Chain A
C-alpha cells in the first residue's frame, strides 16, 4: 500500500503534508522547553537558547505521553557552567512540581518520642523535593529574574532544597552544614549518624523547626 495519496482538489504535495506533522513535533518540544526555562532564556539570550533547545530536540526523542516530563532532561545535554546550573535549578522546579504527592512529617508526628528514640530516627526528604548544590548562584539569579530585576550570575556556592509543600514549590536556601546533614539523611542515615560536627548539633534545633514546619520530610 502506498502511504499517502493526493486527494481530489488537492494542491499540497505529500512532502508538504508530512512536514506539517514534522514541524509540529519540533515546535511542540521547543515550546515545552521554553515554558520551563524562562530564566535560562533570559540568561543565555534568544539565539544561544534556541541553539541549545534545537540540539536537545534533535538529540532526544520524547518517550513519554506526558510532555511535561520532556524538558527536565535539558541540563544533562549542556556543558558545565553557570547556564547549566540555572537550567538544573529550573529543571528541579519543574520536576518537583510534577513529582508524586506525599504527606509531610509534622511536629505533631513527633509527639511522645523520647530523646533516645529520636536520635535513632531517619528522616526522608519529601518525594517532591530536590537537594541541590551549585558553585555559582542560580537561585539569586532566578529570584532577581522573577522580580523583573536585571540580574547577573555571581559566584556561589549555593545550597538549596526545592520542595513542594501545600501544593506550591518553594526554594529554601540552606547553610552548607545543613545541606550536609540533609544529604546524609537522604542517604538513609539516622539523625545521630547525620550530625557529625558540634556546629551541626548546635544548629539542629533551629533547623528542625524549619524542616518540620515547611514540610521537608515525608511522614513515613
Chain B
C-alpha cells in the first residue's frame, strides 16, 4: 500500500479496546494507529496481537520518543526496534513529532518545541535523512501543541515544516487540534498556518479534544473533538483535500461506542 493512500477513518488502538477489536473486528474503523513506543519493547504477545489485527486493519505507527530535534545523537536501538516492528506489522507509515523530548541523556517525556530557525533546519534535516535511511521509508512528522515560542525564530512553524519537506521528502501529519491549541496559546491565525503547509506533504490528519484553562488551551486528548477544531478540519480539507483521519483519545478513554460516534461525525462532514 502506498504511504500516500487515503486509508479512511481510524482510531488509536488503546488497551481498553483490545478485546473489542480482537473479538468483534468493528467495520466502523478503517485503520488503526498505535503508539510505537508502547509496543517496540513489549513482549511478543503484543506483537502477535498486532499481526493478528493487521489482517483486518492497516496499522500506522505513531511515536513520541524519536526526539528528532534534540542535540543528542539519535538512539540507534530505538530506530532499530522501530524498523523491526514496522516491517513486522507492515506499517502503512511511521510518524513522530517535530520536537525534542530531552537533552544530555535525560528525557522529559514531553514534546518540547524547537526554535524555527535556519540553524535548527541545518540540524534536523540530516537527522531526518538518517532516520529515513535507517527505517527504509518516509518519516512523517506531526506538529505538536506548544505553550512557548522562541524569540528570534525566523520561520513560522508551517514554513519550517515546508522547508523540512522540501529538503528531506518527509511527510506531514497535520494535527488539527494542535494547530487550534497552539494558535490560541500564541495568538496566531490557524487558517494561515493551514494555508502555508504544502498539500503534497500531508499524509494524515489528527483530531482530538483539549482542555480549556481559560487563558490557555492544553492538549489532553481526553474529550470529544471541539467545535473550533471541526471547523478547522473542514477548512484543511477544503484547502488540501481528504486524507487519512484519526481520532486520538489517550486519557479518560471512553467506551468504544463513543469513539465510533466521533468517527461518524468525521464521515458525516
Residues of A within 8 A of B (CB): 1-5, 7-12, 14, 17-18, 20-21, 24-25, 28-29, 61-68, 97-101, 128, 164, 167
Contact = CB atoms under 8 A, between A and B. Distances in A.
A10 B186 contact: yes
B41 A66 contact: yes
A66 B188 CA distance: 34
A10 B187 contact: yes
A29 B45 CA distance: 26
B67 A65 contact: yes
Given A5-B150, A7-B188, A164-B43, A63 B110 contact: no
Contact of B150 (A1, A9, A62, A99): A1
A98 B149 CA distance: 37
Contact of B45 (A7, A21, A167): A167
B148 interface: yes
A31 B109 CA distance: 12
B147 A17 contact: yes
Nearest to A168: B45
B52 interface: no
A96 to B, nearest CB: 10
28 contacts: A1-B150, A3-B151, A4-B148, A5-B149, A7-B149, A7-B186, A7-B187, A8-B188, A10-B187, A12-B147, A18-B148, A21-B108, A21-B112, A25-B108, A61-B106, A61-B107, A62-B102, A62-B106, A62-B107, A62-B108, A63-B106, A65-B37, A65-B67, A65-B101, A67-B107, A101-B44, A128-B43, A167-B45
A103 to B, nearest CB: 10
B65 interface: yes
Interface in B144-159: 147-152
Contact of B107 (A4, A14, A24, A65): A65
Interface of B: 37, 41-45, 65, 67, 75, 78, 101-102, 105-110, 112, 115, 147-152, 185-188, 215-216, 218
Contact of B109 (A1, A5, A20, A28): A28
Closest 5 CB pairs of A and B: A167-B45, A1-B152, A9-B187, A5-B151, A65-B65
A43 B101 CA distance: 34
A67 B106 CA distance: 12
Nearest to A164: B43
B97 to A, nearest CB: 13
Contacts of A100: 43
A3 B150 CA distance: 5
B185 A66 contact: no
Nearest to B45: A167
Given A65-B65, A66-B41, A128-B43, A24 B110 contact: yes
Contacts of B152: 1-2
